[in-house]
Chains A and B, each alone.
Chain A
Amino acid sequence: MSTLTAPEAPTRTYNAYSAPLWQRLLMTRETAVIALTAAVILYSIVNVPNFDGPLTLKFLLQDIAPILLIALPMTLVIITGEIDLSVASIMGLSSVLLGVLHEGGMSVPAAALLALLAGLVCGALNGFLIAYVGLPSLAVTIGTLALFRGIAVGLLGTKAITDFTEKWSDLATGTIGETKIPLVMIPFAVLAIGFVVLLHFSTFGRGVYDIGLNDEAAHFTGVDVARTKMVLFLLSGVVSALAGIYFTLRFGSARGDNATGYELQVIAAVLLGGVSIFGGRGRLHGVLAGVVLIGVLSSALRLESVTVNVTNIIVGLLLVASVILPNVLAWASTRLPRKATPAAPRESHTPENAASAGVSTRGSDS
């Protein structure tokens, strides 16, 4: 037996079974989203009046900055098969804390640091309940969504704090030198690089995917599942708090109801960017394109004076289509007569030891 199987083993390589490299790199959901985003941008530049104006880029990036920021940790959280619905409430809480502490005489950076710390604590609470107590993240974060928002509104009541040091609120609305790129893109770029390295180029990142595909298997291959989830919720909390600080300084207004509903925008962008809600699949460049796509669509439609309902309908349809379509196609392709694939050997009557060798022949036949 060993003499028979040994020479056959090399034929069972990944390349023999997979699509060509260019297909694997280009025929992905991420590419589709990026292509669509590029198409929408080009279309808008040509056809939407004032879209090519000098203010568009600045306003667009300022609008999507909080969503870009939170989408980074959210992607990792969703790839592990979990979800964090409390991000917008953490934004609200950090916004209120920044306001209250600043009003109490603290400088903006000191207050912002404490607000970030509060975000970390919020994330730790989520992470502890999900990773170590083992509760479902959907239930936990729905609870903390209400809890953090409640604390935020409770702390500040019905008023708004608007008296921030000019220097800092200018920083939030300022641009890099003479360009039209808002300053907030600098911390975002740093974080984005950090998250790309973490997810796509580290063992931690491999663990994130493993957990999403099968957390028990991940556990047995040596991934510390609980610690990984804890780290992700901590990151989510801290980055949400950062987004909350940006949001507060940009509008110069700390309110309990700041950023209400942002969690859904973030999750919509992440799913549109090709991340599977069931976990285990997704890439950051797709997600970032998803955020930009939604931002460009809303910006262009606003310039066309399309009402927000229509914008929401379009984004909603896009999202539903992007989630449903792969499933429909997978179903349809099982109904269609297909080329011989590695599934064939199961029906094949050839002797077992020839089956694997037969695959490559069949593949080249058809």
Chain B
Amino acid sequence: MKFHTRKPTALAALLLTATFAFAGCGSDDAGDSGSSAEGGDSGGGDLTLTMLPKNLGNAYFDTSTTGADKAAEELGADIEEVGPETGSPDAQVSYINTVAQQGKSALILSANDPDALCDAIEEARSADVKVVTFDADTNPDCRDLFVNAATSEGIAAKQLELISEAIGGSGEIAILSATANATNQNAWIEMMETELADNPDYADIELVDTVYGDDEDQKSFDQTEALLQNHPDLKGIISPTTVGIAAAARYLSDSEFKGKVALTGLGTPNQMREFVEDGTVASFALWNPGDLGYLATYAAAALVDGDITGEEGDSFEAGELGSFEVGADGVVLLGEPFTFNADNIGDFDF
């Protein structure tokens, strides 16, 4: 048998090399177009920004990138969006390293882990890259600025207010979160737990379970189903993640629980529209992620231009959003969460 395969194997090796060579040619073209674009960037010589969301293919971050693109256009800056498929910190590290290699002016980042990214960010900053976090922060000493959509207190309080309203102030509730390690999710959940325990208005509300849908549609869908099976007396679900609330709403709207189990949380109007209209969801909250990306881009530009240094009390102009001031720990606050319901959802498209 050895004799039979020898010639074909050699031939295979040869053709394999040839195929690889062709594959190489294929990527050559992509490379050329890429490098010419890069050449354009450096030719411009000014503001080059990289947007690194937690992961790609997420409607929430698509909207924030749209906002960032708009701001970049107003500023005359080059911006590109890169990111991993799944929201894990080690995948983000590679992209942060790449930004350092490219020597971009600034990185706008939503962090998948508050600490794991710090070494990489430090390396990027020592290569003169300004680092602005938005949506999810790293440790304050790692980055230059954090653009916060709303305070965690505000978000936690708003969601409890909405669920309490929806279930009439008493009953069992559960939380459907994103990944178990998500920084902002865990902060909100912790504050909701504290608020539930301390606030007499919520004395009759009991948080019975917290489950994780990993920001995957199917898993969030399955977790919703499991929640309803495990807790027959469940009155309401809070899902402080856009993927989770949409999946949960889809499950509820086709199930016997529609109208019996209330759902609220953080969602985007386009995802939630049909569920608000068919009565599955009465109201939900969010800020405008487009505004968040827009503000983060202006903040990054202000840092690069030297208008601000990230010190408390610095202030800068952010286009149509007006003027913002840097707060303690280098945090810039966008505002309070906004409540969407059947009356106003028609006014929004994102």
Contacts of B14 in A (CB 8 A): 27, 32
Tell me the dominant secondary structure on chain B's binding face. helix
Contacts of B5 in A (CB 8 A): 330
Instruction: Name the distance in Å between A136's Cβ and chain B's nearest Cβ.
Output: 25
Q: Out of A19, A56, A63, which one reaches B101, CB within 8 Å? A: A56
Q: A318 contacts B23, CB within 8 Å?
A: yes
Q: A252 contacts B118, CB within 8 Å?
A: yes
Q: B119 contacts A252, CB within 8 Å?
A: yes
Contacts of A259 in B (CB 8 A): 90
Confirm or deny: A194 has a beta carbon within 8 angstroms of a beta carbon on chain B. Answer: no
Contacts of A36 in B (CB 8 A): 17, 20-21, 24
A-B contacts at CB below 8 angstroms, number: 184
Q: B34 contacts A304, CB within 8 Å?
A: yes
Q: A19 contacts B115, CB within 8 Å?
A: no
The contact size tier of chain A is: 35 or more
A55–B100 Cα distance when bound, in Å, is 8
Contacting residues of chain A (290-312) with chain B, CB-CB under 8 angstroms: 298-309, 312
Confirm or deny: B19 has a beta carbon within 8 angstroms of a beta carbon on chain A. Answer: yes
Q: B85 contacts A303, CB within 8 Å?
A: no
A216–B89 Cα distance when bound, in Å, is 46
Confirm or deny: A255 has a beta carbon within 8 angstroms of a beta carbon on chain B. Answer: yes
B-contacting 9-mer, from A76-84, A219-227, A335-343: A335-343
State whether A251 and B34 are in contact (beta carbons under 8 Å apart), knowing that A27-B13, A314-B23, A321-B19 are contacts in the complex. Answer: no
Confirm or deny: A247 has a beta carbon within 8 angstroms of a beta carbon on chain B. Answer: yes
Interface size on B, residues (CB 8 A): 64
B-contacting 9-mer, from A43-51, A120-128, A138-146: A43-51
Q: B116 contacts A59, CB within 8 Å?
A: no
Q: B9 contacts A306, CB within 8 Å?
A: no
Confirm or deny: A317 has a beta carbon within 8 angstroms of a beta carbon on chain B. Answer: yes
State whether A326 and B89 are in contact (beta carbons under 8 Å apart), knowing that A158-B181, A255-B181, A303-B98 are contacts in the complex. Answer: no
A305–B38 Cα distance when bound, in Å, is 10
A309–B116 Cα distance when bound, in Å, is 24
Q: A302 contacts B116, CB within 8 Å?
A: no
Q: A338 contacts B3, CB within 8 Å?
A: no
Tell me the dominant secondary structure on chain A's binding face. helix
Confirm or deny: A53 has a beta carbon within 8 angstroms of a beta carbon on chain B. Answer: yes
State whether A329 and B12 are in contact (beta carbons under 8 Å apart), knowing that A252-B118, A255-B113 are contacts in the complex. Answer: yes
Question: Residue of A at shortest CB range from B10?
Answer: A27
A-contacting 9-mer, from B25-33, B59-67, B159-167, B254-262: B25-33
Contacts of A158 in B (CB 8 A): 180-181, 186, 212
Contacts of B77 in A (CB 8 A): none
Contacts of B115 in A (CB 8 A): 160, 162, 252-253
Confirm or deny: B179 has a beta carbon within 8 angstroms of a beta carbon on chain A. Answer: yes
Q: B19 contacts A55, CB within 8 Å?
A: no
Q: B20 contacts A308, CB within 8 Å?
A: no
State whether A258 and B90 are in contact (beta carbons under 8 Å apart), knowing that A306-B34, A308-B85 are contacts in the complex. Answer: yes
Confirm or deny: A360 has a beta carbon within 8 angstroms of a beta carbon on chain B. Answer: no
A334–B17 Cα distance when bound, in Å, is 21
State whether A43 and B24 are in contact (beta carbons under 8 Å apart), knowing that A48-B35, A49-B35 are contacts in the complex. Answer: yes
Question: Residue of B at shortest CB range from A331?
Answer: B8
Q: A343 contacts B88, CB within 8 Å?
A: no
Q: Mark B201-218, 1 if CB is under 8 A from A, else 0.
A: 000000000001000000
Contacts of B17 in A (CB 8 A): 31-32, 35-36
Q: Mark A334-366, 1 if CB is under 8 A from B, else 0.
A: 100010011100000000000000000000000
Instruction: Name the distance in Å between B1's Cβ and chain A's nearest Cβ.
Output: 10
Contacts of A307 in B (CB 8 A): 56, 82-83
Confirm or deny: A18 has a beta carbon within 8 angstroms of a beta carbon on chain B. Answer: yes
A261–B85 Cα distance when bound, in Å, is 12
Q: B7 contacts A338, CB within 8 Å?
A: yes
Q: Mark B77-121, 1 if CB is under 8 A from A, else 0.
A: 000101111101111011101101111000000000111111100
Question: Residue of A at shortest CB range from B34?
Answer: A304
Question: Residue of B at shortest CB range from A56?
Answer: B101
Instruction: Name the distance in Å between A244's Cβ and chain B's nearest Cβ.
Output: 12
Q: A317 contacts B23, CB within 8 Å?
A: yes
Confirm or deny: B11 has a beta carbon within 8 angstroms of a beta carbon on chain A. Answer: yes
A332–B5 Cα distance when bound, in Å, is 12
Contacts of A47 in B (CB 8 A): 28, 31-32, 35
Q: Give me 27 A-to-B residue pairs in the complex whose CB atoms sit less than 8 angstroms apart, sorted by A's number.
A: A19-B6, A29-B12, A36-B21, A43-B28, A48-B31, A49-B42, A59-B97, A158-B181, A162-B115, A251-B89, A251-B113, A253-B115, A253-B116, A255-B181, A302-B95, A304-B35, A306-B34, A307-B82, A308-B84, A308-B91, A317-B23, A321-B16, A326-B9, A329-B8, A329-B11, A341-B7, A343-B3
Minimum-distance CB pairs A-B, first 7:
A162-B115, A253-B116, A158-B180, A304-B34, A326-B12, A36-B20, A27-B10
Interface on B for A, CB 8 Å cutoff?
Answer: 3-17, 19-21, 23-24, 27-28, 30-32, 34-35, 38-39, 42, 56, 80, 82-86, 88-91, 93-95, 97-98, 100-103, 113-119, 123, 127, 179-181, 186, 212
